[in-house]
Amino acid sequence: MRRIMVFLGLVLLSGVLLGQDILPSGHGQTSVQHSQQESVLLASSCSSNLAISCGATLSGQFSGDDCIGYGIAHGQAWVGPEDYYHFAGIAGQTISVDLRFPTAADFLIIGVTQATSSTWLKLVSSPSRDNSLTLAVVLPETTSYALTVAAANNDVTINPYGSYTLSLSCTVAGSLPDLAFYKPAKWSDSVVVSSVTGCYDSVLTAAATCVDSSNPTSATALYVNLAIQNAGSAPVLSTYVVDMYVDDIYNRSFSDTNDLLPGWYSLWADRSLGSFPNGTHTIKLVADAANAVIESNETNNISVKSFTVGTPSAGNCTATSLNLCLSTSRFRVSVAWQSTTASGSATAVPMTSNTGYFWFFDFSNVETVVKVLDATGVNGKFWVFAAGMTNVQATITVTDTKTSAVKTYTNPQGTAFQPVQDTNAFVP
């Protein structure tokens, strides 16, 4: 998992972060990612009295004239220059700190304490010679706070001196984050199923891109790539998990254990999916399924991606906002509704390659769910199932675009929707 910030149209690499994919039993070894880890600041040779305020971005200098800090980070002793800033904080306020240092250093370190206390409210460091680091924390009291920033090396013969940029933003109480799937600039989508690796490189280099595989076969090794942005106005301070389902079966989860500031996004790139048999397949991703993060918008946490392996079926269904294309895009499904005062065509929302739902009046109010299943291996037929959460008149129309056969299922006005379980709906 990588952490990126979008700022004034530019893509800036933040830290290399440590975390891992969470795989179900039988799915092999976990993948190593990256994350911020705690740093232990043991001592400092002096004190300083620089000032910073909410909303400010300052330029500073790590030099041989600075205070010298030393401690332990990632199990290694370090030493290096550090600066101290003071700012006024309000109880319940969330602050976000962004430190950028282009000069090579083994660690960057940020820590926050109350001005009169030696106990860290939060202390983080970045491994692997990163050029930037972020921290977010909720302030417990209305008082003065101290902010420490440092650049350090575990080899005291290397001096991590140079200019840095420090930003402090403060979020008012009541602001919330918003996890949303996000399309990086050179990606073809927010979720990409590629046949080559290098999607992480596409955010760093001008030549690289990240696009969906155009004609995968059953022998093609595929990779999933996804990005999630905090589109809200407050940092994400809780660990959240993204669950992935492949063809409706749970496959694995991706975790993000780090502070995700507003405007930043996390990405997971080049995650192996293996190969697939011929046909249409679906990847469903659910961000924060456990609702660990309270968000301003809880309706944008699901992304469904369909892709076809091998030669597509003979069906020629084209999906629109008013119809689904189900079972290898062979069957076109639409719903017409009529209440006592109005009528219209339902809006279609795909869920998997075989299933989707429709809403009539409002996107948050699901009315009917339809599934078309290839059961030719069971009884030689395609099956149609439907369920509804409505008593409005609804007519479901299913068209076989290969044979032009049509079936309709109508629920009368004022009657609770009766389930459809047609196991003899269409012939191959």
Domains of the chain, CATH where assigned: 2-35+177-309 (2.60.40.10), 39-171 (2.60.120.380), 324-426 (no CATH)
What sections of 222-302 are H helices per DSSP? none
Number of C-beta neighbours around residue 206 at 10 A: 7
Query: Strand 76-89 and strand 50-51: pairing?
Result: parallel
Question: What is each CA distance from 115 to 108, 111, 135, 144, 208, in whole angstroms?
Answer: 21, 12, 18, 5, 47
Strands 2-7 and 249-256 come out as unpaired
Indicate the helix (H) or strand (E) that contains 149. strand 143-152
> What does the angle CA 234 – CA 23 – CA 194 come to, to the nearest 5 degrees?
80
DSSP-derived 3-state class of residue 278? coil
Tokens linked to 303: 């992304």
- The DSSP line for 227-242 is EEEE-SSS-B-S-EEE
Query: Distance between CA atoms of 165 and 151, rounded to whole angstroms?
Result: 12
Count the neighbouring beta carbons within 10 Å of the beta carbon of residue 392. Answer: 22
- Three-state DSSP class for 163? strand
Q: Collapsing DSSP states into helix, strand and coil, what is residue 427?
A: coil
pLDDT 10s per residue in the chain (428 long)? Answer: 544 444 332 233 333 233 344 444 322 222 222 333 344 454 444 556 688 999 899 998 888 666 777 776 666 677 778 888 999 988 888 899 999 888 767 778 888 999 888 788 998 887 655 678 888 999 999 899 999 888 877 665 556 788 899 999 988 777 889 999 999 888 999 999 999 998 887 776 776 789 999 889 888 999 999 999 999 988 888 889 999 999 999 999 999 877 788 888 888 999 999 999 888 899 999 999 888 998 999 889 999 998 888 865 556 788 888 999 999 889 999 999 999 998 999 999 999 989 999 999 988 899 999 999 988 878 888 999 999 999 999 999 999 998 889 999 999 999 999 999 999 999 88
Q: Give the DSSP letter of residue 182.
A: -
